Protein backbone atom coordinates (compact mmCIF):
# COMPACT_ATOMS: atom_id res chain seq x y z
CA UNK A 1 0.00 0.00 0.00
CA UNK A 2 1.47 3.43 -0.86
CA UNK A 3 2.55 5.41 2.16
CA UNK A 4 0.00 8.19 1.81
CA UNK A 5 -2.87 5.73 1.88
CA UNK A 6 -2.09 4.41 5.36
CA UNK A 7 -5.16 4.48 7.62
CA UNK A 8 -3.97 7.46 9.65
CA UNK A 9 -2.25 10.80 9.12
CA UNK A 10 1.42 11.12 8.20
CA UNK A 11 3.32 9.17 10.72
CA UNK A 12 6.49 7.23 11.17
CA UNK A 13 9.15 7.05 13.42
CA UNK A 14 10.67 4.72 15.23
CA UNK A 15 12.22 4.35 17.66
CA UNK A 16 15.60 3.98 17.80
CA UNK A 17 15.25 1.10 20.08
CA UNK A 18 18.53 -0.54 19.31
CA UNK A 19 20.41 2.55 20.45
CA UNK A 20 18.58 2.24 23.76
CA UNK A 21 19.40 -1.46 24.01
CA UNK A 22 23.03 -0.98 23.21
CA UNK A 23 23.47 1.79 25.74
CA UNK A 24 22.17 -0.54 28.41
CA UNK A 25 24.24 -3.51 27.26
CA UNK A 26 27.39 -1.45 26.83
CA UNK A 27 27.78 -2.09 23.12
CA UNK A 28 27.75 1.62 22.25
CA UNK A 29 30.70 3.67 23.38
CA UNK A 30 29.12 7.10 22.96
CA UNK A 31 30.97 10.37 22.78
CA UNK A 32 34.01 9.17 20.85
CA UNK A 33 36.25 11.68 19.10
CA UNK A 34 35.13 12.81 15.70
CA UNK A 35 38.70 13.07 14.52
CA UNK A 36 41.04 15.96 13.82
CA UNK A 37 40.96 17.12 17.44
CA UNK A 38 37.21 17.79 17.38
CA UNK A 39 35.61 17.22 20.81
CA UNK A 40 33.13 14.40 21.23
CA UNK A 41 29.42 15.15 21.33
CA UNK A 42 29.42 14.83 25.11
CA UNK A 43 32.46 17.07 25.52
CA UNK A 44 30.86 19.81 23.44
CA UNK A 45 27.81 19.80 25.69
CA UNK A 46 29.82 20.11 28.91
CA UNK A 47 30.79 23.66 27.99
CA UNK A 48 27.17 24.78 28.37
CA UNK A 49 25.65 25.15 31.82
CA UNK A 50 21.98 25.37 30.80
CA UNK A 51 19.85 22.35 31.69
CA UNK A 52 16.39 21.33 30.55
CA UNK A 53 16.97 23.34 27.37
CA UNK A 54 17.10 22.74 23.62
CA UNK A 55 19.70 23.88 21.07
CA UNK A 56 19.33 23.94 17.30
CA UNK A 57 22.62 22.41 16.12
CA UNK A 58 22.47 21.93 12.33
CA UNK A 59 20.18 21.95 9.31
CA UNK A 60 17.67 24.55 8.21
CA UNK A 61 14.94 26.33 10.11
CA UNK A 62 12.78 26.22 6.99
CA UNK A 63 10.92 23.31 5.39
CA UNK A 64 11.53 20.96 2.46
CA UNK A 65 15.25 21.54 1.97
CA UNK A 66 17.09 19.65 -0.79
CA UNK A 67 20.08 17.55 0.20
CA UNK A 68 23.62 18.88 -0.26
CA UNK A 69 25.59 15.66 -0.79
CA UNK A 70 29.06 16.88 -1.66
CA UNK A 71 31.61 14.19 -2.58
CA UNK A 72 30.91 10.57 -1.63
CA UNK A 73 32.98 9.64 1.42
CA UNK A 74 34.18 13.19 2.14
CA UNK A 75 33.05 15.22 5.17
CA UNK A 76 32.32 18.89 4.53
CA UNK A 77 30.71 21.63 6.58
CA UNK A 78 28.34 22.41 3.70
CA UNK A 79 27.04 18.81 3.42
CA UNK A 80 23.51 18.29 4.69
CA UNK A 81 20.93 15.51 4.32
CA UNK A 82 17.73 16.72 2.71
CA UNK A 83 14.58 17.20 4.75
CA UNK A 84 13.00 13.82 5.57
CA UNK A 85 10.97 11.72 7.93
CA UNK A 86 10.54 8.01 8.75
CA UNK A 87 14.26 7.39 8.34
CA UNK A 88 16.31 4.87 10.30
CA UNK A 89 19.36 5.58 12.43
CA UNK A 90 22.03 4.05 14.62
CA UNK A 91 25.17 4.98 16.52
CA UNK A 92 28.56 3.33 16.03
CA UNK A 93 31.25 2.46 18.59
CA UNK A 94 32.95 5.83 18.01
CA UNK A 95 29.77 7.69 18.93
CA UNK A 96 29.09 8.77 15.35
CA UNK A 97 25.46 8.99 14.26
CA UNK A 98 24.34 7.23 11.06
CA UNK A 99 21.22 8.00 9.03
CA UNK A 100 19.57 5.92 6.29
CA UNK A 101 16.74 6.69 3.90
CA UNK A 102 13.23 7.83 4.72
CA UNK A 103 10.82 9.91 2.72
CA UNK A 104 12.25 13.29 1.76
CA UNK A 105 14.11 15.53 -0.66
CA UNK A 106 17.09 14.51 -2.81
CA UNK A 107 19.92 16.58 -4.27
CA UNK A 108 17.66 18.04 -6.95
CA UNK A 109 14.80 18.88 -4.58
CA UNK A 110 12.59 15.99 -5.74
CA UNK A 111 10.38 14.40 -3.07
CA UNK A 112 10.27 10.61 -2.70
CA UNK A 113 11.79 7.68 -0.88
CA UNK A 114 15.54 7.71 -0.24
CA UNK A 115 18.29 5.10 0.18
CA UNK A 116 21.17 7.44 1.03
CA UNK A 117 23.47 6.60 3.94
CA UNK A 118 24.99 9.45 6.00
CA UNK A 119 27.36 9.80 8.95
CA UNK A 120 27.44 12.71 11.44
CA UNK A 121 30.79 13.03 13.30
CA UNK A 122 29.67 15.71 15.74
CA UNK A 123 30.63 18.52 13.39
CA UNK A 124 30.05 17.58 9.74
CA UNK A 125 27.94 15.25 7.62
CA UNK A 126 29.43 12.71 5.19
CA UNK A 127 27.49 11.00 2.40
CA UNK A 128 28.67 7.37 2.65
CA UNK A 129 26.57 5.21 0.34
CA UNK A 130 23.40 5.03 -1.73
CA UNK A 131 21.94 7.43 -4.27
CA UNK A 132 21.41 11.19 -4.18
CA UNK A 133 18.16 10.79 -6.14
CA UNK A 134 14.81 9.43 -4.96
CA UNK A 135 12.93 6.17 -5.57
CA UNK A 136 15.86 3.88 -6.38
CA UNK A 137 15.29 0.10 -6.62
CA UNK A 138 17.34 -2.27 -4.51
CA UNK A 139 20.48 -3.98 -5.81
CA UNK A 140 20.50 -7.26 -3.91
CA UNK A 141 23.34 -9.28 -5.40
CA UNK A 142 23.76 -12.85 -4.14
CA UNK A 143 22.26 -13.88 -0.81
CA UNK A 144 24.80 -13.65 2.05
CA UNK A 145 27.47 -12.17 -0.23
CA UNK A 146 28.72 -8.63 0.47
CA UNK A 147 29.48 -6.50 -2.58
CA UNK A 148 30.29 -2.86 -3.21
CA UNK A 149 27.35 -2.49 -5.62
CA UNK A 150 24.73 -3.89 -3.23
CA UNK A 151 22.30 -1.35 -1.78
CA UNK A 152 18.83 -1.60 -0.21
CA UNK A 153 16.10 0.07 -2.23
CA UNK A 154 14.74 3.46 -1.22
CA UNK A 155 12.38 3.08 1.73
CA UNK A 156 10.88 4.57 4.84
CA UNK A 157 9.96 3.14 8.23
CA UNK A 158 12.39 0.23 8.28
CA UNK A 159 13.73 -1.08 11.61
CA UNK A 160 17.34 -1.41 12.71
CA UNK A 161 19.74 -2.81 15.25
CA UNK A 162 23.50 -3.21 15.82
CA UNK A 163 25.20 -6.49 16.66
CA UNK A 164 28.15 -7.07 19.00
CA UNK A 165 30.56 -6.71 16.06
CA UNK A 166 29.27 -3.21 15.34
CA UNK A 167 27.48 -4.27 12.16
CA UNK A 168 24.27 -2.46 11.32
CA UNK A 169 21.18 -4.48 10.38
CA UNK A 170 18.13 -3.22 8.47
CA UNK A 171 14.76 -4.94 8.07
CA UNK A 172 11.76 -4.20 5.88
CA UNK A 173 9.96 -0.90 5.56
CA UNK A 174 7.93 0.57 2.72
CA UNK A 175 9.71 1.18 -0.54
CA UNK A 176 11.21 -0.20 -3.74
CA UNK A 177 12.18 -3.83 -4.35
CA UNK A 178 14.68 -5.28 -6.82
CA UNK A 179 12.34 -4.76 -9.78
CA UNK A 180 11.50 -1.16 -8.90
CA UNK A 181 7.99 -2.04 -7.70
CA UNK A 182 6.72 -0.21 -4.64
CA UNK A 183 5.26 -1.89 -1.55
CA UNK A 184 6.04 -3.34 1.86
CA UNK A 185 9.30 -5.24 2.26
CA UNK A 186 10.65 -8.08 4.43
CA UNK A 187 14.27 -8.07 3.30
CA UNK A 188 17.03 -8.26 5.90
CA UNK A 189 20.34 -6.44 5.27
CA UNK A 190 23.68 -6.05 7.04
CA UNK A 191 26.10 -3.11 6.69
CA UNK A 192 29.68 -3.98 7.72
CA UNK A 193 31.07 -0.45 7.45
CA UNK A 194 32.00 -0.86 3.79
CA UNK A 195 29.44 -3.01 1.97
CA UNK A 196 25.81 -4.11 2.18
CA UNK A 197 24.84 -7.80 2.34
CA UNK A 198 21.35 -9.17 1.65
CA UNK A 199 20.94 -11.76 4.43
CA UNK A 200 17.33 -12.99 4.45
CA UNK A 201 13.81 -12.34 3.20
CA UNK A 202 12.58 -11.62 -0.30
CA UNK A 203 13.84 -9.18 -2.93
CA UNK A 204 10.27 -8.49 -4.06
CA UNK A 205 7.45 -6.65 -2.30
CA UNK A 206 4.33 -7.67 -0.34
CA UNK A 207 5.36 -11.16 0.80
CA UNK A 208 3.09 -12.89 3.37
CA UNK A 209 4.54 -14.25 6.60
CA UNK A 210 5.63 -17.86 7.06
CA UNK A 211 5.07 -18.48 10.78
CA UNK A 212 5.77 -22.15 11.27
CA UNK A 213 5.28 -23.52 14.78
CA UNK A 214 5.18 -20.98 17.59
CA UNK A 215 8.40 -21.15 19.59
CA UNK A 216 10.28 -23.26 17.02
CA UNK A 217 13.04 -21.79 14.84
CA UNK A 218 13.03 -22.88 11.21
CA UNK A 219 15.00 -21.81 8.16
CA UNK A 220 11.75 -21.40 6.20
CA UNK A 221 10.16 -19.04 8.74
CA UNK A 222 10.00 -15.36 7.86
CA UNK A 223 7.98 -12.36 9.03
CA UNK A 224 5.70 -10.96 6.38
CA UNK A 225 6.54 -7.71 4.60
CA UNK A 226 5.81 -4.76 6.88
CA UNK A 227 6.46 -1.16 7.78
CA UNK A 228 6.35 0.70 11.09
CA UNK A 229 7.38 -2.24 13.28
CA UNK A 230 9.56 -1.84 16.38
CA UNK A 231 12.66 -3.74 17.41
CA UNK A 232 15.18 -4.39 20.14
CA UNK A 233 18.21 -6.55 20.85
CA UNK A 234 18.62 -8.76 23.93
CA UNK A 235 21.65 -9.55 26.08
CA UNK A 236 22.38 -12.65 23.94
CA UNK A 237 22.55 -10.56 20.77
CA UNK A 238 19.27 -11.90 19.38
CA UNK A 239 17.09 -9.43 17.50
CA UNK A 240 13.39 -9.04 18.32
CA UNK A 241 10.64 -7.65 16.10
CA UNK A 242 7.08 -6.66 17.02
CA UNK A 243 4.07 -5.72 14.92
CA UNK A 244 3.85 -3.12 12.19
CA UNK A 245 1.58 -2.62 9.19
CA UNK A 246 2.00 -5.54 6.81
CA UNK A 247 1.08 -8.98 5.55
CA UNK A 248 -0.07 -11.85 7.76
CA UNK A 249 0.12 -15.61 7.16
CA UNK A 250 -2.75 -15.50 4.66
CA UNK A 251 -1.47 -12.48 2.74
CA UNK A 252 -4.03 -10.10 4.27
CA UNK A 253 -2.79 -6.55 4.88
CA UNK A 254 -3.34 -4.79 8.21
CA UNK A 255 -1.88 -4.06 11.62
CA UNK A 256 0.05 -6.91 13.23
CA UNK A 257 0.87 -7.95 16.81
CA UNK A 258 3.26 -10.83 16.11
CA UNK A 259 6.50 -11.08 18.07
CA UNK A 260 9.57 -12.58 16.33
CA UNK A 261 13.17 -13.42 17.26
CA UNK A 262 16.14 -13.57 14.85
CA UNK A 263 19.12 -15.62 16.14
CA UNK A 264 21.50 -14.59 13.30
CA UNK A 265 20.42 -17.50 11.11
CA UNK A 266 16.71 -18.28 11.63
CA UNK A 267 13.43 -16.62 12.58
CA UNK A 268 11.16 -17.83 15.41
CA UNK A 269 7.56 -16.74 15.90
CA UNK A 270 7.33 -16.18 19.68
CA UNK A 271 4.00 -14.57 20.54
CA UNK A 272 0.95 -12.79 19.16
CA UNK A 273 -1.27 -13.73 16.25
CA UNK A 274 -0.51 -14.77 12.68
CA UNK A 275 -3.47 -12.77 11.35
CA UNK A 276 -3.98 -9.02 11.12
CA UNK A 277 -6.00 -6.49 13.17
CA UNK A 278 -6.26 -8.44 16.42
CA UNK A 279 -7.55 -6.73 19.58
CA UNK A 280 -5.40 -6.39 22.67
CA UNK A 281 -5.82 -8.74 25.63
CA UNK A 282 -4.91 -6.53 28.60
CA UNK A 283 -5.66 -8.64 31.64
CA UNK A 284 -5.08 -6.97 35.01
CA UNK A 285 -2.87 -3.89 35.05
CA UNK A 286 0.50 -4.70 36.59
CA UNK A 287 0.00 -8.49 36.39
CA UNK A 288 1.87 -10.69 33.90
CA UNK A 289 -0.16 -13.40 32.20
CA UNK A 290 0.55 -15.77 29.34
CA UNK A 291 -2.77 -14.78 27.74
CA UNK A 292 -1.90 -11.06 27.64
CA UNK A 293 -0.87 -9.51 24.34
CA UNK A 294 -0.84 -5.94 22.97
CA UNK A 295 -3.28 -5.28 20.17
CA UNK A 296 -2.10 -5.11 16.56
CA UNK A 297 -0.36 -1.79 15.87
CA UNK A 298 2.31 0.13 14.02
CA UNK A 299 4.50 3.16 14.78
CA UNK A 300 4.96 2.43 18.46
CA UNK A 301 8.08 3.27 20.46
CA UNK A 302 9.94 1.14 22.93
CA UNK A 303 13.06 0.64 24.99
CA UNK A 304 15.04 -1.90 27.00
CA UNK A 305 14.79 -1.60 30.78
CA UNK A 306 17.76 -1.94 33.09
CA UNK A 307 16.73 -5.52 33.89
CA UNK A 308 16.59 -6.43 30.18
CA UNK A 309 12.81 -6.29 29.90
CA UNK A 310 11.35 -4.78 26.73
CA UNK A 311 8.89 -1.88 27.06
CA UNK A 312 6.34 -0.87 24.41
CA UNK A 313 4.32 2.36 24.24
CA UNK A 314 1.42 3.42 22.06
CA UNK A 315 1.23 3.43 18.28
CA UNK A 316 -1.71 3.29 15.89
CA UNK A 317 -3.71 0.10 16.23
CA UNK A 318 -6.37 -1.90 18.03
CA UNK A 319 -7.50 -1.55 21.64
CA UNK A 320 -9.21 -4.02 23.97
CA UNK A 321 -12.52 -3.86 22.07
CA UNK A 322 -11.02 -3.86 18.57
CA UNK A 323 -11.43 -0.13 17.91
CA UNK A 324 -8.71 1.44 15.76
CA UNK A 325 -6.88 4.63 16.70
CA UNK A 326 -3.88 6.02 18.52
CA UNK A 327 -2.92 4.30 21.78
CA UNK A 328 -1.15 5.34 24.98
CA UNK A 329 -0.90 1.94 26.64
CA UNK A 330 2.43 0.92 28.19
CA UNK A 331 3.50 -2.74 28.11
CA UNK A 332 6.43 -4.80 29.41
CA UNK A 333 7.71 -8.08 27.91
CA UNK A 334 9.78 -10.13 30.39
CA UNK A 335 10.91 -12.77 27.90
CA UNK A 336 7.89 -14.97 28.56
CA UNK A 337 4.78 -12.88 29.21
CA UNK A 338 3.34 -9.43 28.50
CA UNK A 339 2.20 -7.10 31.30
CA UNK A 340 -0.02 -4.03 30.82
CA UNK A 341 1.74 -1.43 32.98
CA UNK A 342 0.06 1.95 32.43
CA UNK A 343 -2.17 3.99 30.13
CA UNK A 344 -5.58 3.16 28.75
CA UNK A 345 -6.93 0.05 27.03
CA UNK A 346 -9.11 2.34 24.85
CA UNK A 347 -7.91 4.36 21.84
CA UNK A 348 -7.59 8.16 21.44
CA UNK A 349 -7.08 9.19 25.05
CA UNK A 350 -6.12 12.77 25.94
CA UNK A 351 -2.88 13.47 27.75
CA UNK A 352 -2.72 14.28 31.47
CA UNK A 353 0.21 16.70 31.77
CA UNK A 354 0.17 17.83 35.39
CA UNK A 355 2.87 20.31 36.44
CA UNK A 356 5.93 20.84 34.27
CA UNK A 357 8.86 18.65 35.43
CA UNK A 358 6.90 17.17 38.34
CA UNK A 359 6.34 13.40 38.32
CA UNK A 360 2.87 12.25 39.30
CA UNK A 361 1.05 8.93 39.20
CA UNK A 362 -1.84 10.60 37.35
CA UNK A 363 0.33 11.95 34.51
CA UNK A 364 0.39 10.21 31.15
CA UNK A 365 1.12 11.15 27.55
CA UNK A 366 -1.86 11.30 25.24
CA UNK A 367 -2.44 8.55 22.69
CA UNK A 368 0.07 8.89 19.84
CA UNK A 369 2.04 7.26 17.05
CA UNK A 370 5.27 8.03 15.18
CA UNK A 371 6.97 9.52 18.22
CA UNK A 372 10.67 9.35 18.95
CA UNK A 373 12.32 7.92 22.06
CA UNK A 374 15.57 7.63 23.97
CA UNK A 375 16.79 6.02 27.19
CA UNK A 376 19.39 7.69 29.39
CA UNK A 377 22.14 6.01 31.41
CA UNK A 378 19.99 6.19 34.55
CA UNK A 379 17.44 3.94 32.89
CA UNK A 380 14.84 6.69 32.45
CA UNK A 381 12.85 6.64 29.20
CA UNK A 382 12.25 9.82 27.18
CA UNK A 383 9.48 10.42 24.63
CA UNK A 384 9.02 13.30 22.19
CA UNK A 385 6.15 14.34 19.96
CA UNK A 386 4.44 12.30 17.32
CA UNK A 387 0.91 12.41 15.96
CA UNK A 388 -1.81 12.15 18.58
CA UNK A 389 -3.91 13.69 21.34
CA UNK A 390 -3.08 16.72 23.47
CA UNK A 391 -4.36 17.69 26.93
CA UNK A 392 -7.77 18.64 25.50
CA UNK A 393 -8.12 15.53 23.36
CA UNK A 394 -7.43 17.42 20.13
CA UNK A 395 -5.66 15.43 17.44
CA UNK A 396 -2.56 16.77 15.69
CA UNK A 397 1.23 16.91 15.75
CA UNK A 398 2.87 17.16 19.18
CA UNK A 399 6.10 18.66 20.54
CA UNK A 400 5.82 17.57 24.17
CA UNK A 401 8.80 15.91 25.89
CA UNK A 402 8.14 13.29 28.59
CA UNK A 403 10.26 11.24 31.00
CA UNK A 404 9.25 7.87 32.52
CA UNK A 405 11.21 6.96 35.68
CA UNK A 406 9.93 3.42 35.88
CA UNK A 407 6.80 4.24 37.85
CA UNK A 408 5.60 7.75 36.90
CA UNK A 409 5.55 10.18 33.97
CA UNK A 410 6.85 13.77 34.02
CA UNK A 411 6.08 16.38 31.36
CA UNK A 412 9.50 17.95 30.77
CA UNK A 413 9.25 20.42 27.87
CA UNK A 414 7.13 21.58 24.95
CA UNK A 415 3.44 22.34 24.71
CA UNK A 416 0.37 20.52 25.99
CA UNK A 417 -1.40 21.54 22.76
CA UNK A 418 -1.08 20.47 19.13
CA UNK A 419 0.66 21.83 16.03
CA UNK A 420 3.01 24.24 17.80
CA UNK A 421 5.69 26.13 15.83
CA UNK A 422 9.39 25.88 16.63
CA UNK A 423 11.46 28.51 18.39
CA UNK A 424 14.98 28.03 16.98
CA UNK A 425 16.97 30.75 18.69
CA UNK A 426 20.67 31.02 17.79
CA UNK A 427 22.46 28.11 16.15
CA UNK A 428 24.31 25.96 18.72
CA UNK A 429 23.10 28.02 21.69
CA UNK A 430 20.99 26.47 24.43
CA UNK A 431 18.17 28.67 25.68
CA UNK A 432 15.08 28.11 27.78
CA UNK A 433 12.90 29.62 25.05
CA UNK A 434 14.12 27.21 22.32
CA UNK A 435 11.88 24.31 21.39
CA UNK A 436 11.43 22.11 18.30
CA UNK A 437 8.12 22.44 16.52
CA UNK A 438 5.44 19.76 16.63
CA UNK A 439 6.25 16.86 14.31
CA UNK A 440 6.23 13.09 13.80
CA UNK A 441 8.60 10.60 12.20
CA UNK A 442 11.94 11.77 13.60
CA UNK A 443 15.09 9.81 14.36
CA UNK A 444 17.12 10.08 17.55
CA UNK A 445 20.11 9.07 19.63
CA UNK A 446 21.67 9.82 23.03
CA UNK A 447 25.31 10.76 23.68
CA UNK A 448 27.62 9.83 26.55
CA UNK A 449 26.54 12.88 28.58
CA UNK A 450 22.85 11.87 28.33
CA UNK A 451 22.11 14.67 25.88
CA UNK A 452 19.17 13.79 23.64
CA UNK A 453 19.56 14.37 19.89
CA UNK A 454 16.88 14.27 17.19
CA UNK A 455 16.70 14.95 13.47
CA UNK A 456 14.04 15.83 10.93
CA UNK A 457 10.44 14.67 10.90
CA UNK A 458 7.28 16.03 9.33
CA UNK A 459 4.75 18.60 10.50
CA UNK A 460 1.39 19.54 8.99
CA UNK A 461 3.09 21.55 6.23
CA UNK A 462 6.28 19.76 5.21
CA UNK A 463 9.54 17.97 6.02
CA UNK A 464 12.40 19.06 8.29
CA UNK A 465 16.17 18.46 8.25
CA UNK A 466 16.98 20.33 11.46
CA UNK A 467 19.17 18.68 14.12
CA UNK A 468 18.37 19.39 17.78
CA UNK A 469 20.05 18.63 21.12
CA UNK A 470 18.33 18.55 24.50
CA UNK A 471 20.32 18.80 27.71
CA UNK A 472 18.39 17.25 30.66
Q: Rg (Cα) of the chain, in Å, rounded? A: 20
Q: Is 173 exposed, middle or buried (0-12, 13-18, 19+ CB in 10 A)?
A: buried
Residues 360-384, mean pLDDT to the nearest whole number: 95
What's the half-sphere exposure (Cβ side, CA atoms, 13 Å) at 397?
25
Share above pLDDT 70 across residues of the chain, in percent, rounded to a whole number: 90
- What's the whole-number average pLDDT of the chain? 90
Q: Please check the confidence at residue 394 and state whether its pLDDT lies above 50.
A: yes
How far is residue 342 CA from its own chain's centroid? Answer: 21
Residue 50's pLDDT band (cuts 50, 70, 90): confident
Q: 174 near 155, Cβ under 8 Å? A: yes
Q: Which range (4-18, 24-38, 64-78, 448-462) has the least confidence?
A: 24-38
pLDDT value for 38:
32
pLDDT value for 49:
59
Q: Which range (30-39, 362-371, 412-421) has the least confidence?
A: 30-39
Q: Please check the confidence at residue 423 and state whether its pLDDT lies above 70.
A: yes
Smallest CA-to-CA distance from 230 within 315, 308, 145 is with 315
> What are the φ/ψ torsions at residue 461 (nearest 5 degrees)?
-110, -40
Predicted model pTM: 0.89
Q: DSSP assignment of 34-86, as one string?
A: -STTPPPHHHHHTT----SEEEEEES-SSSSPPPB--STT--BTT-BPPSEES
Q: Please check the confidence at residue 31 and state whether its pLDDT lies above 70.
A: no
Domains present along the chain, CATH in parentheses = 3-471 (2.120.10.80)
Q: Please check the confidence at residue 189 and state whether its pLDDT lies above 90.
A: yes
Share above pLDDT 90 across residues of the chain, in percent, rounded to a whole number: 83
Q: Please check the confidence at residue 35 and state whether its pLDDT lies above 70.
A: no
| Sign of CA pseudo-dihedral 249, 253, 257, 262 | positive
pLDDT value for 415:
98
Longest dimension (CA), the chain: 58
Residues 407-423, mean pLDDT to the nearest whole number: 98
Residues 313-335, mean pLDDT to the nearest whole number: 98
Q: 202 near 187, Cβ under 8 Å? A: yes
pLDDT value for 12:
36
pLDDT tens across 327-340, in order?
999 999 999 999 99
pLDDT tens across 236-270, in order?
999 999 999 999 999 999 999 999 999 999 999 99
9: left (phi over 0), alpha (psi -120 to 50) or beta: beta
Residues in the chain: 472
Higher pLDDT, 49 or 467: 467
Amino acid sequence: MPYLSKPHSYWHCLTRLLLVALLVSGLIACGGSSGGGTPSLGEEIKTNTNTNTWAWVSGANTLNQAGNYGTLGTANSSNQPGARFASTSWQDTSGHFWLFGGQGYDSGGALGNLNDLWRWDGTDWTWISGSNTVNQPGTYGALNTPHATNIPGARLDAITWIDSSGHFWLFGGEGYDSTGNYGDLNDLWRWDGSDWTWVSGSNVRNIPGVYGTQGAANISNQPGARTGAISWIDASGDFWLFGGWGYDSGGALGNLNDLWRWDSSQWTWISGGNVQNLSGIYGTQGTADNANVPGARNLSVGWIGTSGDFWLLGGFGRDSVGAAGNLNDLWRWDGTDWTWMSGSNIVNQAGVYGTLRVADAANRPGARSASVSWMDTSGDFWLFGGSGRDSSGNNGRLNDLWRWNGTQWSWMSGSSGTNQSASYGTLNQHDASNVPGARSGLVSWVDSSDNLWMLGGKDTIGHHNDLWRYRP
